[in-house]
Amino acid sequence: MIKYLLLDCDGIIVARDKYFSQRLLGLGLNLDENEIGKFFSTDFVLCKIGKKDLKNELRKQLPLWNLNWTVGKTIDFWFSAEREFDRNIFNYIIEIRQRGIKVFVPTEQEKYRAADLWENAGLKNITDGIFFFVRYWIFKN
């Protein structure tokens, strides 16, 4: 008998049509696309593994991106558009849990986004837990 179901977040539970960087560049502001891309391939990776803090890194990055926003506004713009659940998966989760199967979300998320998904998006209301982890921990002996 199945006791647990593990579902990934992005692309499975959370329906997202565009990445944050795509939405940001789509605003038509005079942003530095190269600096944004560089951030996500370097510093953001370190944020995901807990070696850097996203808020501190965004504070440094926003001037480099030519974005005159606060860190708070940037995070809100980013996270608020990534809180929509795929309706079919949402209904499936409800059905599975009604059958007594526990549903957990193992996901590779940065700590602030993981907390936002749990609290603000409402994963806490439809799943039994979230495990956000990083590659560093997965592959470390």
Instruction: Give the pairing of strands 129-132 and 4-6.
Output: unpaired
The partner residues of 14 in beta bridges, in order of sequence, read 10, 85
Q: Provide the 8-state DSSP code for 86.
A: P
pTM to 2 decimal places: 0.85
Measured over the CA atoms of residue 6, residue 10, residue 11 and residue 15, the dihedral's sign is positive
Tokens at 34, concatenated: 């190269």
For the chain, what is the radius of gyration of the CA atoms?
17
pLDDT digits (tens, 9 = 90+) for 75-87: 999 999 999 999 9
pLDDT at residue 133, as a whole number: 65
Q: Of 36 and 136, which is predicted with more confidence?
A: 36
One-letter amino acid identity for 46? L
